[in-house]
Chain A
Amino acid sequence: KNQVEQSPQSLIILEGKNCTLQCNYTVSPFSNLRWYKQDTGRGPVSLTIMTFSENTKSNGRYTATLDADTKQSSLHITASQLSDSASYICVVKGTYKYIFGTGTRLKVLA
């Protein structure tokens, strides 16, 4: 069964600290993996896309990794800011379908 599991479910950190969010998937065939950021009351917005051959990709303070062998991905946030408070959703694309994780809710405190 195609599944995407994320951990932790929620996370609270202090402003300026780093954090890492995890995504494990069992999706076949695999096309790509995206990390989305969803602010409260808004639709998800893509942060980064990972294809099968890519191991690491950065977008500003966000760095995503992908291990296609173990089917794991992570999203590392460096020097967190209050505006990073949001839900982060991992989405794996198969041939036509997008399989969504349940998200990690991040709260950054001043």
Chain B
Amino acid sequence: EAGVVQSPRYKIIEKKQPVAFWCNPISGHNTLYWYLQNLGQGPELLIRYENEEAVDDSQLPKDRFSAERLKGVDSTLKIQPAELGDSAVYLCASTSRAGDGEQFFGPGTRLTVL
């Protein structure tokens, strides 16, 4: 079974540029999460999707961040414009409605904003 796929793995951009990250969750997982992880810290939730509906986006900085999961499968997280403080690892995770709620994480996208 394929795990959570994220791309790109690394991205370096200059401040004020736009950037997008893509995530394909495990097949059949209806819940998808985007997390931000700073160095030496635990992941912080940005947004949670149940199928195509964003059910928790309270921590998403909506002035510059946006996300979509149009068909309830893969998802895109966008930052426009990027700021220096956005440099971090962006993790995607998914869970199945069945089971004990284990989150399966992708490898993350490491963003560096210069």
Contacts and interface: CB of A to CB of B under 8 A. Distances in A.
Contact of B102 (A4, A46, A97, A105): A46
B45 A102 contact: no
B93 to A, nearest CB: 7
Interface stretch (A12-20, A36-44, A62-70, A75-83): A36-44
Interface string A65-100: 000000000000000000000000101010011101
**SS class of chain B's interface: helix, strand, loop or mixed?**
loop
Nearest to A87: B40
Contacts of B41: 102-103
B8 to A, nearest CB: 13
B57 to A, nearest CB: 13
B14 interface: no
B42 A102 contact: yes
B43 A93 contact: no
B4 interface: yes
B108 A43 contact: yes
Contact of A42 (B45, B100, B103, B108): B108
A96 to B, nearest CB: 7
A103 B107 contact: no
A42 B107 contact: yes
A102 B43 CA distance: 8
B107 A43 contact: yes
A34 interface: yes
B100 A49 contact: yes
A76 to B, nearest CB: 20
Nearest 9 A-B pairs (CB), nearest first?
Answer: A43-B105, A100-B42, A102-B42, A44-B105, A43-B107, A43-B106, A46-B102, A100-B43, A102-B41
